[in-house]
Structure formats: C-alpha cells, structure tokens
Structure 1
Amino acid sequence: MTDQSGSPLGGDFVAHPAEVLAEFRESCPVARVLSPSGQPRWLITREQDVRAGFLDPRLSLRTTPGPKDRPHRALDMSLVCYDPPDHTRIRRLAAPAFAPARIEPYRDRIAALAAELVDALDTPTPTACPAEPMAEPTAGPTVDLMARFAQQFAFQVLCEVLAIPRADQPALRAAVAVLIDRRGHDATAPDEALNHLDSLIRHEIGARLGGSGQDVFSSIVRAWESANGTVSESELVDLLAMLLLAGLDSTAQMLGMCVMGLLSEPGLTARLRAEPELMPRAVDELLRWETPGPFGTARTALEEIQVGDHVIPAGSRVLLAVAAANRDPRCHREPDRLDLDRPNAGRHLSFGLGPHYCLGATLAKLELIEALTALLARWPELRLGCSTAELRWTGGSLHRRLEALPLLLGPTAPAAPTAAPATPTKAEPAGRTVRP
C-alpha cells in the first residue's frame, strides 16, 4: 500500500491521465491515494485487476438518497446508483431499445446530421487557439470543433433517437448545458435546469403512454407500461434523464479526443480516407487510446477484497482506472501508440464491463464512425489549429473535457453525390422520427 501526500489526481491530471496512472500501474498497481477533494480512495490500475473489478459484485455502486424536502426530481438517483437486482430491474426497460439491431436503422439519419454540420463548417468564424499561438504561425481561420460540431452533433443525435419535439430542443439544450458545465451561471441555474429537465421528461412520458412510436424514448415508456408496476415512475424519470445527459457530453468529448488523436499522428487520416472500412476498428483503437472518463464510477468495497498482494478494507471507496488498463502493456503491445491494425483494439474498457456496461455504447460508436467519416472526407488537409500542448482541459478527474479544439480545415475534397436531406415525412411530427 502506498499513501500519497496530496492528490495525484489533481493539478494537470485531466490533461495527462495516462502518464500519471502509468506510474502507479508499473510501480504500485494497487495504491491508496487522495481524491482532489482530499478523500481516501483505493486506485486499481492493471488491466487484469480492473477487468476483474468491474465484474466483482463485492464492489458496490449502491447509493442511498438523502432526505429530501421536495418531491423526487430527475437525477435524484441514477442507474449507476443501483446494484443488481434493482439495477437489472430498471436497466431491462432500456436495454432492448439500445440493441445493435435497433440502433443500426438510425445510421443514415446520423450520417445526414453529420453532413449538415460539416456543411455549416464551410463558413468558418475566426476562433482563437485556447492558449498562446504556435511559434510557427498557421494560415487561415480556425474553427472550434467542440462548439461548432461535436456538441451540436451529439445533441441532435440524442434528440433524434429520443424523438424530442423540435420546439422543445432549444430550452432543453440550454438546461443540459448548465448541468454539464456550471461555470458562468448563477447559483440558481442548476436547480432551474433540473426542474426543466424533470418537467420535460414527465410531459413526454405522458405524451407517449399507450403509443406505438419506435423511437428509443417511446420504446422505454412502452416497456415501463408492460412492467406491471415493478419500476416506479420516479425510476423511469431518472433513467430517461440519465440517458439524455450521459449520452451528450461524453460523446461530444470523445469525438474531440478522436479528432485530436488522429491529427496528432501523421498518416492516420490519409489511411482512413483510403481505407474507410477501417473506421470501426479505428474508433475502438481511439476509445482505447483516450477517454473522457479515466475511471469507472467509484465503488464501495462491501467486504475485504484481495487484489494482488493487497487487501482493500471493507467500506473503502475504489477507483477502477480505465485509462491505465487501456494502456497496460501486458494486454496491448506498444500501448501509447495509435495502431489502426491493433488486433485487440476492441478489448478496451472505456464503456465499462459487466452489468453496468454502457447502455449507449452501440449508439456512441455509430456516432463516432459517421462523424469522423464526414469530417475526414470533406477536408483532406484537416489539421490542428494549435499544438496539443496548448489545448486547455477542464472538468475533473472523473470526467475531463476539452475546452476547445481549434482546427484548420484546408481545401475541401471534390464534391461527391449526396443523398437528399433527411427530414421527417409528412406523417411524422417534427422531431418524432419513427423509422427504426
């Protein structure tokens, strides 16, 4: 056991988690550290041990809600606050709606959304690098991928698969923006945002009761109606709120990190343009190489647990270091290198493992594939607008965020035939796509 003075997870950890965690993985793979807030945590870093931790029922996610002086509101609890069998009981409402066969029919619409946003980037607005400019000046204006593409794309895809009415989208986007990043907002803004989110979800549940819509939201409501009271309305509201919020910023941030990684390694983008069939494997490799969430959700040891030569006491809080496991040389050869031919790229743990494996993993990967394909196809000379060392990171040790990702687009590729813009048919209300 190694006690750390101060927290290794503070400071510039959000910018360099892999390097910080690699030191623990190679010298003290099970370590007692302090969180940035000064709370003791046990850190597990080797791939074999992290994988086992995800599957160990003695590492509990259960959270007991504190006393409330108001009625239950969206996100008072979350799916990651439960262990089986309660977790299983609630999760089964949503799992079928996120199955690959149910998500695949959204591919064309997701590709169309990516193309529409790529079109909008053709009229760039000047964007400064997040830090000092590079010593060697770059020509032409830059665009911020995060603000002008990634965040908008992730939000629009969620509105599509959840069939959020178009009229409700601007206020919803404003609310979730506050919940994702509270900086610059007054003290009452998060509470107001949660109230709005709760009200919208409850209204949409009522609008879909007894309906036959095939979108994800409607499918979950229909499953709830068939559950014969085994899942409460409050649990349903929490589930839908979590799906909306968790699927937004994580996907936007991962998209930014994917583009950053590809543009940092010469030759990768050219190869993906020449061999687009490699994109699914490339996305898995990028998910292995970088992730917004360096750790799985913090767990509590229900009893003493032996991990390697160490005993984690009962009641301890435990962090499973996904970012360290994904770059463990015992599992991945030359783990710090992006390798589009890596045979076991899909073995990464960025979506977790076991009962809490990310519900939206299939959708997230589909979004990344279509967004990266659209961006690389449009601009053969796409490059970073500043060095990776100049990028500014925010968030915290559990969820890191790129403040901005300035890009130099360069000339566009020769125009290719495109499909007609995907719009709802006359029989479908705007924002209520029911194709799948």
Structure 2
Amino acid sequence: MTAPRQDPLRDPRFFADPYPTYDRLREGCPVRRVPTGSGGHHAYLITGHAEAREAFTDPRLSKDTARFFADRPSNRDLHPAISRNMLASDPPVHTRHRRVATRLFTTGRVRELRPFINRVVDDLTATWRPGTDIDLVADLAVPLPVTVVCELLGVPKPDRATLAARSHDLFDATDTDRVDAASHHIGDYLTHLVDTARATPGDGPLHSLLRDCDAGGLDRDETVSLAALLLVAGHETTTHFIGNAVLALLRHPEAFDRLRRDPDLIPGALDELLRFDSPVSVATFRHSTEDLRVGGFDIPAGFPVLIAPGAANRDPSAFPDPNHLDLDRDAGAHLSFGHGIHRCPGAPLARAEAEIALRTLLTRFPATRLAAPATSLPWRRTRLTRGLTTLPLTLA
C-alpha cells in the first residue's frame, strides 16, 4: 500500500467533511500508513469497522503516551494531569482509574442526574421564543454538558465559562502553545480545587468523587488527572454529539418529523445519530509496542496508530448504505464511544444529555429550521473530534 504524500487528516476539506477522505482511504486499504504533520513522521490509520474493533482490543497497541515519548525528544509542555490521565495509560494503572470512573456513571447515578439535567435545559431555553434566532452550540450544546460536569466536580459557577474555554483550547490543532497553556490552566485549577476540598470537610459532589478516588486507591495527582479527564471528555464530545445530531436531523426532514411526532423514539435513535456523524473522528493516541497484524495488515513496532471511529461508522461492510441516516437501522455496533477496555465510561451521561436536549428542541420548537446554508457551517479544525463551532437556527 502506498502512503499519501501529505497528511490526509489536515486538509481543509477534511475538516469540512471527512467522509469522502475516509471513503477513499478505506477503499484503498482499511489499514494504511499515512504521513502525520511535518518532519517526515508517519502513523498507521485504521478506517475499516472490523479492523477498528480488532485494534481497540489489541493489548499490543498501547495508550501509554509517556512510554512512547520516553526516548523521543519533544518540545511539548503539557500539564501532567492532561498528559498522564486514564486515556494515556494501560492496565494495571488504567484499571484502577477506570474502576473509579465507571462508578460515577452507573445507570442509577445517571438516572439520579436526569432531573438536574432537565432543569439545566429548562433554564438554558427559558428565553427562547418562536421566530427568534439562536446558536444551538453556544446557547445549549456547550453550556449543558459544561454545567453538568462542573456540578459533578464542584466548580463554582463564576469559574465555569473560563474553564470550559480552556478545555476548548485543548483541541486546537493549529496552536500547540495554546494547547499547552490551556493544559496548565486546567491542571493548576483542578489541583487547587481538589486540595481545597480535602482541607474543607463537606458532602458535595466533589467530596463524593474524592471518596470514590480514595476507595479506588488513587493518589492526589491521579485524582486531579481523573477530574481533568471528566472535565474535558465530559463536555467536549457531548457538545459535538448534540450539535451533530441536530444538524443531521435538520438535513433529513423525514427523520426530524418522525421524532417530532413521537419523541419517545429519541432514545432508540441516538445510536444511529452517533454512527452517522460521530463526535469522535479519530480516537486518542495509541502506539504499537511490537510487530502485529490487524485485519491481515502488518503494523511494525514503534509507530503511532490512529483508529478512526468516524470512518469505521461509515464502513459499508458493517452498515449498508452508510451515508444515509436511517432511524430503523440497528446501529448499536457503532464505535463513537470506542470499544473494549477504553470504551467511554461516561456514555450513559452523554446519551441522557443528548436525549433531553433533543426532546426539548423537537417538542417545544417543532418547526425549527437552519438559519444558514448547511454547506456554510463552520467546523472545528481538529482531527480528534468532529463538531460545529456554531449552528444558527430559527426557532419555530
């Protein structure tokens, strides 16, 4: 297989619509070597569904970022809370972190959170009126998950907007200095928040989290790193989930009308909406610790490996007619939340937030329409996530 001459995931056309690129790469070879950035570096990109599922569970693909860069010079300066979190670790370290994180998002705990989520959505939409224009991203998709995760972490209300903005900066693919600075702002803030909570007895959500961390054997730095992961992963992808789902429905009026007429179908439609336009385009960093084969294709040791859920979810061998939004499709095998031991533990919360947001929009404003051409909408310039920067709507 011949590697492309330039990084296909940095082309401006990719950010606007990655799926033609993914289709072309997958049809050529579902596991292929691609250039990454500048400097002659390469990675292996996995775009096939079966191959992605296999790679997600292969222990020879490590997520231990520190191990990969131990003997590779780097000028990056990420805060340890960002660079050494659960997503950048392997068992047994990962196992301890995940055991704590999973307890935070059990079905029972998410059920207990639903009344709070409903109140947040009601507050955010209280001033919305038919005939007015809103930006769904700024007015709902961003503040909803930010408010929920900050409530879980005990972040004071005056600090939430700044913390969310710094979290947003972490995904800026064009400015590594900005990313590094944002990581230190978040890491330092959460370190202070955790230390203050430990020194002040209480019974709030953060104190509950600290007790879970203590019971799980996490030390101070590990507790801060878990808090940082909850903050960043707990709202960024959910923001894109909501925005992408609303846009997909507006571009498919028959699907929008079906859910409007029967909102109880929304929970069952979430998997197809996640599959159709995944908020996670390329999964977080992995690297090969030894030579291996994925789907019959060789990957040598010592290379970064990029698994692309956004591509795998549009693989026609797994999902016939994949570019069509089909609410009757069994899309439960989508990979938007990952697969295996690193599957997103916060998936139940993300689904609850998206369901409540969609139900509110479709029932209160059933004739809502786009306030700008879909082809003109601006998308985030990052290969990791796929999401809109704005989504202008006219409420009706």
Q: What TM-score does the superposition give when structure 2 sets the normalisation length?
A: 0.89
Amino acid at match of 1:50: A
Amino acid at match of 1:16: D
Paired position in structure 2 for 1:147: 138
How many equivalent residue pairs? 389
Q: Distance in 2 between matches of 1:211 and 1:355?
A: 34
Could you list the per-position Cα deviations for residues 77-128 of structure 1 after superposition, in whole angstroms to 9, with x for gaps in the alignment? 22111011111122222211111211111111111211221223339xxxxx
- TM-fit CA distance, 1:279: 0.6
Say if 1:163 and 1:62 are closer, same or farther in 2 by CA, change over 3 A: same
Measure how far apart 1:172 and its partner are: 3.2
Rg larger in structure: 1
Q: Deviations over 1:169-223 (max 9, x none)?
A: 354345435445598x9968963773465234433454257967473x3333102
Post-superposition CA distance 1:285-325 (Å, at most 9, x none): 11011123211113111111112342111112111121121
1:99–1:210 CA distance, 2 compared to 1 (3 A)? farther
Alignment of 1:208-219 (within 5 A): 208=198, 213=203, 215=205, 217-219=206-208
Please point out which of 60, 63, 87 is paired with 1:61.
63
Residue in 2 that maps onto 1:15: 16
Tell me which of 216, 220, 242 is aligned to 1:255.
242
Instruction: Extract unaligned runs of 5+ from structure 2.
Output: none
Q: Which residue of 2 is the match for residue 112 of structure 1?
A: 119
CA contact (8 A) 2:135 2:390 kept: yes
Q: Is the Cα–Cα contact under 8 Å of residues 278 and 340 in structure 1 kept in the other structure? A: no
**Cα distance in structure 1, aligned partners of 2:142 and 2:276:** 21
The structure 2 residue matched to 1:328, chosen from 304, 312, 315, is 315
Deviations 1:52-88 (A, max 9, x none): 1000001111121779999975324221110111111
1:23 corresponds to which letter in structure 2?
R
- Inter-partner Cα distance in structure 2 for 1:193 and 1:82: 18
Deviation at 1:403, TM superposition (A): 1.9
1:203 aligns with 2:193: yes
Distance 2:288 2:149 in 1: 35
State the match for 1:156 in structure 2. 147
Distance, in Å, in 1 between the alignment partners of 2:44 and 2:387 is 24
Contact 1:44 1:320 in 2 (8 A): yes
**Matches of 2:169 and 2:317 in 1, distance apart?**
41
- Equivalent residue of 1:5, what SS? coil
- Following superposition, the deviation at residue 391 of structure 1 comes to 1.1
Q: Which runs of 5+ in 1 are unaligned?
A: 124-139, 411-436
What amino acid does structure 1 have at the position aligned with 2:375? A
CA gap 1:173/1:24 in 2 versus in 1, 3 angstroms? closer
Specify the SS of the correspondent of 2:293.
Answer: strand
TM (normalized to structure 1)?
0.81
1:19-418 residue pairs with structure 2 within 5 A?
A: 19-37=20-38, 39-64=41-66, 74-122=81-129, 142-180=133-171, 191=181, 194-195=184-185, 197-208=187-198, 213=203, 215=205, 217-227=206-216, 230-342=217-329, 344-410=330-396
Tell me: CA distance 1:359–1:202, structure 2 relative to 1, closer, same or farther (3 Å): farther
Root-mean-square deviation (Å): 2.8
Q: Residue 208 and residue 273 in structure 1: after superposition, are their counterparts in 2 closer, same or farther (change >3 A)?
A: farther
Identity percentage of aligned residues: 38
